[in-house]
Amino acid sequence: MSKTAIVEIDGKRYEFPVVEGSENEEAIDINKLRDLTGVITLDPGYKNSGSCTSKITFLDGELGILRYRGYSIEDLADKADFLEVSFLLIFGELPTAVQLKQFEDDIRKHTLVNEEMKNIIDGFPRTAHPMGVLAALTSALTAFNPKSVNVDNEKEMYHAVCKTMGKFLVIATWTYRKSMGYPLNYYDNTKGYVENFMKLMFEIPTGPYKASPIVIDALNKLFILHADHEQNCSTSTVRMVGSSHAGLFASISAGVSALWGPLHGGANQAVLEMLEEIHNNGGDTDKYMAKAKDKNDPFRLMGFGHRVYKNFDPRAKIIKKAADEVLETLGVDDPILAIAKKLEALALEDEYFKSRSLYPNVDFYSGIIYRALGIPTDMFTVMFAIGRLPGWIAQWKEMRENKEPIGRPRQIYTGSPLRDFKTVDKR
Ligand code: SDX
C-alpha cells in the first residue's frame, strides 16, 4: 500500500501520493495540487521542493554522503580518473577499458576550437573576470556548432558530449591565457585530458611544458570531487535553460554564470581572498569569527555552511587531506593553510556554527591546493566549472531524455490591485 499525504484546506481534505526514491527519500507528489485545490505551494530557494527525479547523484546532507551513480565519492576520488567518472555520470556505468579509450579518442577529435573564436576573446579586456569570458565563449560555441542536439539519437548525443568535453576545456584555459597576454594554446592529442589542462594553461612558445604527476593526480581528484552535486544552483539552471530546448552549449553557458556567484562556486575564490585578508591583517582569526557571527556585519565565513549538508561536506574532508599531501610533496609551506585549519577548529567548537550546522564545504580547502599548483585565484571558479561540466551534461541529458516539461514555477502576487491609468499631466 503506497503512502499518501492529506492536505486540508477550508475543511476540505485532499489526498496526494507520496513518492519514494531508491534511497528511501520521500516526496509529496503535488502534480495535481492546483487543479484540485486552486492553491499552490510557496518555497523561495526551493529548500523543501524537489524539481525532478534523477538517477545520477545521491547525497545525504545529514550523514554527509555523496555518491555518483551509486559509487561513493571516496572510492571514485581514490581509484578513478576524471574521464572515467565523466563517462559514469553521463552514460550511467563505469566504462570498460575499451570504452574509456574510445571516449578519450573521441574527445580528442573535438579539441580544435574554431580559430574565429579568437576574435571574440580578443574583444575582452585583459582585466575581464575569467568566468565572464568563459560564459561568453561557451555561448559563442553555439554559433560555430549550430546543430541542435537530438537527444533521441544516441550517436548525435554522444557526439555532442565529446564535443562539449573537448572544446570547453580549451576555452576555459584561454580565459587565463587572455588575462596574461599569452598566446592561446592547443590541445595535444598525445597527452591525457587532465595533463592537457596544465599544458593548455602554462606552456609558452619557448619550450614544452611538463606537468608533474603529483599535480596531475591532485587535479584529477579535485575535478572528480566537483563533477556533480544533484540539483545545486548552477545545475538547476542548466536544466531550466535546457527545458526550453535551448542547446547544450547555451545551457552550459547559463550554468557557468550561475556558478560564478560567491554564494556558490565563486566561494572558492572568496575563501582564498578571505584567508589572505586574515593573513595580511596579522592572522586574527577571532576577529573574523566575530564578524561572521555579527548580524550587522555582512561578512560570512566563506567556504562554510551549505544548503543541504548539515554535517561535514564529504568532499571537504578529502580535499583537506589532499591539501596536506600536495603541499608537503611540493614542499610548499603556505601560512594560509594554517589559518584555514585554525578557522575550522574554532568554528567546530563555536556554538553559533554548531547550532546552525555550519561545516567546511567543498570550497573551503580547494583554493589552497589550486594556489599550490600555481593556479591564479581568479581562475579557481573556472576550475570548479571544468570539474562540474560532466555533471551539467549528465543532468541536461537526463532532463531531455526524460522529456521533462519546460520549467515554469508559479508565484504569489503581492503587488498593487487594479489601478486606472493617469496621463502624465495628471500624475
Ligand atoms: C557550493 O548546493 C550545492 O550543492 C552547492 C555546491 C555544489 O557542489 O554545487 O556544494 C557548491 O556552492 C558550496 C557553498 C559555497 N558557498 C559558500 O561557502 C558561501 C558561504 N556560505 C553561505 O553563504 C551559506 O552557508 C550558503 C549560501 C552556502 C547556504 O545558505 P543557506 O542554506 O540558505 O543558509 P542560510 O543563509 O539560511 O543560513 C542559515 C544561518 C543564518 O543565520 P540565522 O539567520 O539563522 O541567524 O546560518 C548563517 C546565516 O546567517 N550562515 C552563516 C554562514 N552560512 C550560513 N554565518 C556565517 N558564515 C557562513 N558562511
> pLDDT tens-digit profile of 130-184?
999 999 999 999 998 887 788 889 999 999 999 999 999 999 999 999 999 999 9
In short, whether 302's Cβ falls inside 6 Å of ligand 1 is: yes
Indicate whether 374 and 307 sit together in one domain.
yes
| Spatial CB neighbours of 426, under 8 Å, sequence gap ≥ 6 | none
In short, whether 388's Cβ falls inside 6 Å of ligand 1 is: no
The Cα–Cα gap between 51 and 242 comes to 14
> What residue numbers bound the domain in which 345 lies?
81-408
The CATH number covering residue 43 comes to 2.20.28
| Spatial CB neighbours of 90, under 8 Å, sequence gap ≥ 6 | 161, 390, 393, 394, 397
The Cα–Cα gap between 282 and 413 comes to 50
In angstroms, what is the C-alpha Rg of the chain? 23
Indicate whether 353 and 218 sit together in one domain.
yes
Q: How far, in Å, from the CA of 263 to the mean position of ligand 1?
A: 7
Q: Are 363 and 225 a contacting pair, CB within 8 Å?
A: no
State how far Cα 295 lies from the chain centre.
Answer: 28
Over residues 194-213, mean pLDDT: 94
Indicate whether 224 and 107 sit together in one domain.
yes
Q: How far, in Å, from the CA of 310 to the mean position of ligand 1?
A: 10
| Spatial CB neighbours of 375, under 8 Å, sequence gap ≥ 6 | 201, 383
Indicate whether 18 and 149 sit together in one domain.
no
* 3-state class (DSSP) for residue 241: helix
Query: In sequence order, which ranges of 38-188 are alpha helices (DSSP H)?
Result: 73-79, 82-91, 97-108, 117-122, 130-144, 154-180
What is the helix (H) or strand (E) element at residue 14, kind and residue range?
A: strand 12-20
- Residue 329, pLDDT > 80, answer yes
Over residues 96-121, mean pLDDT: 97
- Residue 214, pLDDT > 80, answer yes
Give the per-residue pLDDT at 113. Answer: 96
Give the per-residue pLDDT at 146. Answer: 83
- Residue 1, pLDDT > 80, answer no
Cell 492553491 maps to which residue? 39
Indicate whether 32 and 153 sit together in one domain.
no
What is the helix (H) or strand (E) element at residue 141, kind and residue range?
A: helix 130-144
- Does 371 reside within a domain? yes
Give the per-residue pLDDT at 276. Answer: 94
Retrieve residue 211's grid coordinates: 606537468
Sheet (strand 12-20) strand order: 4-9, 12-20, 26-28
- Does 202 reside within a domain? yes
Residue 272 pLDDT level (bands cut at 50, 70, 90): very high
Domain tally for the chain?
2
Indicate whether 327 and 403 sit together in one domain.
yes
Name the residue at shortest CA distance from atom 20 of ligand 1.
302
Give the per-residue pLDDT at 150. Answer: 87
The Cα–Cα gap between 45 and 43 comes to 6
- Does 417 reside within a domain? no
Indicate whether 24 and 166 sit together in one domain.
no
- Does 328 reside within a domain? yes
Q: How far, in Å, from the CA of 9 to the mean position of ligand 1?
A: 34
The Cα–Cα gap between 371 and 222 comes to 13
Give the per-residue pLDDT at 178. Answer: 95
- Does 185 reside within a domain? yes
Mutate-to-test residue for ligand 1 from 361, 380, 381, highest number of ligand atoms within 8 A of CB: 361
Q: Are 292 and 299 a contacting pair, CB within 8 Å?
A: yes
Indicate whether 13 and 110 sit together in one domain.
no
- Residue 277, pLDDT > 90, answer yes
Over residues 368-378, mean pLDDT: 92
- Does 163 reside within a domain? yes
- Does 76 reside within a domain? no
Name the residue at shortest CA distance from atom 22 of ligand 1.
305
In short, whether 59's Cβ falls inside 6 Å of ligand 1 is: no
Q: Are 33 and 40 a contacting pair, CB within 8 Å?
A: yes
Q: What is the DSSP letter of 38?
A: S
The CATH number covering residue 99 comes to 1.10.580.10
> How far does the chain reach from its first CA to its final CA, in angstroms?
64
User: What percentage of residues in the chain have a pLDDT greater than 90?
Assistant: 95
- Mean pLDDT across the chain: 95
| pTM attached to this predicted model | 0.95
In short, whether 315's Cβ falls inside 6 Å of ligand 1 is: no
Give the per-residue pLDDT at 321. Answer: 92
Indicate whether 217 and 278 sit together in one domain.
yes
Indicate whether 33 and 167 sit together in one domain.
no
Mutate-to-test residue for ligand 1 from 263, 271, 353, highest number of ligand atoms within 8 A of CB: 263
Over residues 45-59, mean pLDDT: 97
Closest atom of ligand 1 to CA, residue 305: 25
Active site positions, annotated: 306, 363
Helices and strands: H and E segment counts in the chain: 18, 6
Dump pLDDT digits (tens) for 54-90.
999 999 999 999 999 999 999 999 999 999 999 999 9
Q: How far, in Å, from the CA of 291 to the mean position of ligand 1?
A: 15
- Does 115 reside within a domain? yes
In short, whether 361's Cβ falls inside 6 Å of ligand 1 is: yes
Q: How far, in Å, from the CA of 359 to the mean position of ligand 1?
A: 10
Indicate whether 28 and 171 sit together in one domain.
no
Give the per-residue pLDDT at 289. Answer: 95
Indicate whether 11 and 105 sit together in one domain.
no
